[in-house]
Amino acid sequence: MKCIRYSNHARKKMVERGISEKEISNAINRGSKRTQDDKIVATFMYFEVVYKVIDDEAYVITVFVRW
């Protein structure tokens, strides 16, 4: 991905859950992925990232911890 953009909701959840932009980048680039409707869910370490690819950019919708 050239660029990663974040929704306001995703930014809020990143702060609440202590997940950095670097961790999000690693999840998108190296995590295991599955599709959910028209979105991609990347699983990495202890969290998941839900995002869409729009014009070669990853648009992060939300981030949540896997328990």
The rounded distance, in Å, linking the Cα atoms of 19 and 47 is 8
Q: What is the pLDDT of residues 41-62, one digit of tens each?
A: 999 999 999 999 999 999 999 9
Q: What is the pLDDT of residues 23-46, one digit of tens each?
A: 999 999 999 999 999 999 999 999
pTM score, whole prediction? 0.93
**Comparing C-alpha atoms, which of 60, 67, 62 is closest to residue 45?**
67
Instruction: Give 64's strand partners.
Output: 48
pLDDT, residue 1, reads 60
pLDDT for residue 67: 81
**Mean pLDDT over each residue of the chain, to the nearest integer:** 96
pLDDT surpasses 80 at 2: no
14's CB contacts (< 8 A; 6+ apart) are 6, 20, 21, 24, 63
Q: Which CATH class is domain 3-65?
A: alpha beta
